[in-house]
Every structure is written in structure tokens, then in C-alpha cells.
Amino acid sequence: MSQRAESPGATWRQLWRATSEKLGDPVHTRWLLEEVSGADAAALLRRLDDRAPPTDVVRLESLVRRCLQGEPLQRVLGHWTFRGVEVVVDSRVLVPRPETELVVGFAISELDRLCRLRPGDGAIVVDLGTGSGVIALSIVSEREGTFVTATDRDLASLEVAESNLSRLAAEAATRVQLRAGDWYEALPEDLFGRIDVIVSNPPYVAEREWADLEPAVRDFDPFGALVAGPSGLEDIEEIVLSAPGWLAEHGALVVEIAPHQALSALELSRSAGFREAVVEEDLAGRPRALVARV
Ligand SMILES: C[S@@+](CC[C@H](N)C(=O)[O-])C[C@H]1O[C@@H](n2cnc3c(N)ncnc32)[C@H](O)[C@@H]1O
């Protein structure tokens, strides 16, 4: 009678080691193993000598392959946590960036300043070019009583934002309204002169810079989310110049920029008639966000 020797499957420990060797990145390795096993790192460490189900091994191989082809981790996982809010990330939207988490922090500081000036009012925020919705969703999650109108001209992005919104805590989700359209054209007219904070992470790459972007950005983020036009400043200019009319008294505009755009952004805010403007830095000390007040 012939006997078939079943080859025992790999343990999580063996998979961890093999994945780490292939990726050369311990943090990415941990993220992929947590994703595939459905366990957090602490639980996984307790199960290291268990054998992984074959379906998990196949899925891990596929995710590792995508990482090795240069796909950003957030896209490989298909979801990401932005300031504590879990969002779906796919080919329809920009991968949320850590610098944008800081931009949200600057917007929230402006909201808090306005709440000190006008206590008790429900603050009104607009997020222009919402993409996956991360800016809008994190603001309503972090500031009770704040209402956010989030816009995008790209309908596919709005589908992603809608699906991320549907997974937000129910009460916070009622305070976000999604609208389609070009920058300020997407807004209802009754918001004119009443917005406390306008926040935006617009496209700010120049057409000629696109080919030189890192492949992980150029090949995976939507072109329309990255590239503004020949100079890279086109969308920033449109947003800054029209903002004062839409803002309430003491309101603020917070816009993410590329570090080399700091001086131009300050000049634009002066031309627009803002009372004061500063450029805030990211954690690496690079100019990253225009904060302008009427
Ligand atoms: C850099 S992405 C930012 C996405 C998201 N807010 C974030 O921070 O991850 C820019 C977004 O602006 C949108 N957008 C580009 N041009 C636009 C326009 N003219 N009007 C409205 N939205 C626009 C893009 O579709 C994209 O979702």
C-alpha cells in the first residue's frame, strides 16, 4: 500500500522570517502578517508555531508580490488608518499621507480658535477635493458639533468617500455632506460668507514633475489627484483667491502645499486679501500648509 507523505504547511514563524527576507522591511512584514492572519501582532506572537492555513499562505504570497512590484502598502492592504479613522483605499483615490494628518491638525487648531471666539455655535467646515474622505471624516470624528461639506469633481472618489462615510460612527456621519463638482462650484450658495474653515489637499504637482515622481506615487495614485497643470500652482491659486468671500468673519483657509510653493502661497494669500497668513511645517521641518485668516 502506497503512503502519501503530506508536506506540513509553514508555521507563522517561518512565514514571518521568509516575508521579512523578501521585503527587507520589518514593519511592512508585520502589517502583511497581521492582515493575512486577522490577528494583531501580540496575538500573532502567541501563535508563531501554529501552522498557517494554506489559503492564508497563498494570500500572503500575493500581497508580498504586490509589495515587491512597488505598490504602496496602503493599497496592498486596501485600507488604512488616518488619525484613528479606518478607511478603504483603492485605485480610485490618493493614498492618504501622514503630512495630510498634520494639515488636519492645523485645521482643527483653527476650528478651536474660532470656537473660543464664538462658543456654542456648530462650526462649518468645507473639505475641497475630499478623495477618500479622510480630512472630512477625521474632523467630524474629532470635533463634536462640527459640520463638514466635502466635495470632489471626481465621482469615483466620491463613491469611495461615501463608502468610508458609511462605516463611520452614525452620529458623526450625519455631520458630513458629500457634493460633486469643481472646487467652489460644488458648494451650496447659502454657505457663501458662512464657512469657518476651508481645508484642502489639492493637486499641486506640475505636469513636467509627474514623470520624475517616485514610482510608488506616479504608478499608483490617480493622475488627477496629483497634477494641477503646467505650474503645479493652478488649483492652489483657484482655492486661495476665492476663499475670502466664502469664509465667515475670522474664518481660516488651510491648504496643503509642496515645500517649494511656500512663498507663492503666501503671495497668493496677500493678493486674495487675507488679514494674515503663515506657512506651517511638517514633522521633517519642511513648509507644508498655508494657514490664512480673514
Ligand atoms: C491630492 S488629492 C487629496 C485627496 C484627499 N483629500 C486626501 O488628502 O487624501 C486631490 C483631490 O482633489 C480632487 N480634485 C482635483 N481637481 C479638482 C477640482 N477642480 N475640483 C474638485 N476636486 C478636485 C481630486 O479628484 C482628488 O480627490
Q: Report the residue among 127, 130, 288 best suited for mutation to probe ligand 1: largest number of ligand atoms under 8 A from its CB.
A: 130
43 is a domain residue: yes
Q: How far is the CA of 260 from the centre of ligand 1 (A)?
A: 20
Same domain, 45 and 145: no
Ligand 1 centroid vs 90 CA: distance in angstroms? 15
d(CA 18, ligand 1 centre) in Å: 39
Q: Residue 5 has what pLDDT?
A: 41
List the one residue out of 69, 74, 60, 70 whose CA is nearest residue 32.
Answer: 60
Backbone dihedral region for residue 284 (phi beyond 0: left; psi -120 to 50: alpha; all else: beta):
alpha
> Hey, which of 134, 152, 200 would you mutate to test ligand 1's pocket, going by the most ligand atoms within 8 Å of its Cβ?
152
Nearest CA to ligand 1 atom 24: 225
Q: Residue 151 has what pLDDT?
A: 98
Query: Is residue 226 in some structural domain?
Result: yes
Q: Which atom of ligand 1 is closest in space to residue 82's alpha carbon?
A: 9
- Same domain flag for 39 and 100: no
Total structural domains within the chain: 2
* Structural domain ending residue among the three candidates 34, 69, 104: 69
Q: Closest residue (by CA) to atom 8 of ligand 1?
A: 201
Positions in the chain short of pLDDT 50: 1-6
How close is the Cα of 20 to the center of ligand 1, in Å? 35
Q: Which pLDDT value is given to residue 118?
A: 87
Q: What is the pTM of this model?
A: 0.93
Mutate to test the pocket of ligand 1, among 154, 213, 226, 282 (most ligand atoms within 8 A of CB): 154
Same domain, 229 and 101: yes
Indicate whether 193 and 104 sit together in one domain: yes
Q: Is residue 80 part of a domain?
A: no
Model pLDDT, residue 4 = 43
Q: Are both 157 and 269 inside the same structural domain? A: yes
Which structural domain range is residue 45 located in? 3-69
Please indicate, yes or no, whether residues 190 and 121 belong to a single structural domain of this protein. yes
- Which of 95, 165, 179, 201 has most ligand 1 atoms within 8 Å of CB, for mutation? 201
Q: Based on the fold, state whether residues 165 and 114 are members of the same structural domain.
A: yes
Same domain, 58 and 190: no
Q: pLDDT (tens digit, 9 = 90+) per residue, 259-280?
A: 999 999 999 999 999 999 999 9
Neighbours of 22 (CB within 10 A): 14
Is the domain of 243 the same as that of 119?
yes
Name 121's Cβ contacts closer than 8 Å, sequence gap at least 6.
Answer: 115
Report CA(133)–ligand 1 centroid distance (Å).
Answer: 10
pLDDT at 6: 44
Residue 132 CA: nearest ligand 1 atom is: 5
In the prediction, which pLDDT does 2 show?
40
Query: Do the domain assignments include residue 83?
Result: no
Query: Contact at 8 Å (CB) between 290 and 240?
Result: yes
Alpha helical stretches, state H, the chain: 12-23, 26-37, 41-46, 54-68, 73-77, 98-117, 134-142, 155-166, 170-173, 207-210, 215-218, 223-226, 234-246, 262-272
Shared domain for 153 and 285, answered yes or no, is yes
Could you tell me the CATH number of the domain that includes residue 248?
Answer: 3.40.50.150
Longest Cα pair distance anywhere in the chain, in angstroms? Answer: 90
Residues with CB under 6 A from ligand 1: 94, 96, 100, 129-132, 134-135, 151-154, 157, 182-183, 201-203, 224-225, 235
Q: 21 C-alpha to center of ligand 1: Å?
A: 37
Q: Hey, whose CA ends up nearest to atom 20 of ligand 1? A: 182
pLDDT recorded at residue 7: 54
> Has residue 85 been placed in a domain?
no
CA of 152 to the centre of ligand 1 (A): 6
Task: With respect to residue 201, please indicate whether it lies within any of the assigned structural domains.
Answer: yes
Distance in Å, CA 206 to ligand 1 centroid: 15
Q: How far apart are CA 155 and CA 49, in angstroms?
A: 47
pLDDT per residue over 135-192, tens digit each? 999 999 999 999 999 999 999 999 999 999 999 999 999 999 999 999 999 999 999 9
Q: Confirm whether 55 is domain-assigned.
A: yes
121 and 227 in a single domain? The answer is yes
Both 36 and 110 in a single domain? no
Residue 3 is predicted with a pLDDT of 40
Encoded amino acid at 172, one letter? A
Cβ burial, residue 142 (10 Å; 0-12/13-18/19+): middle
In-domain check, residue 145: yes
User: What secondary structure does DSSP assign to 136-199, as a single string?
Assistant: HHHHHHHSTT-EEEEEES-HHHHHHHHHHHHTS-HHHHTTEEEEESSGGGGS-GGGTTTEEEEE
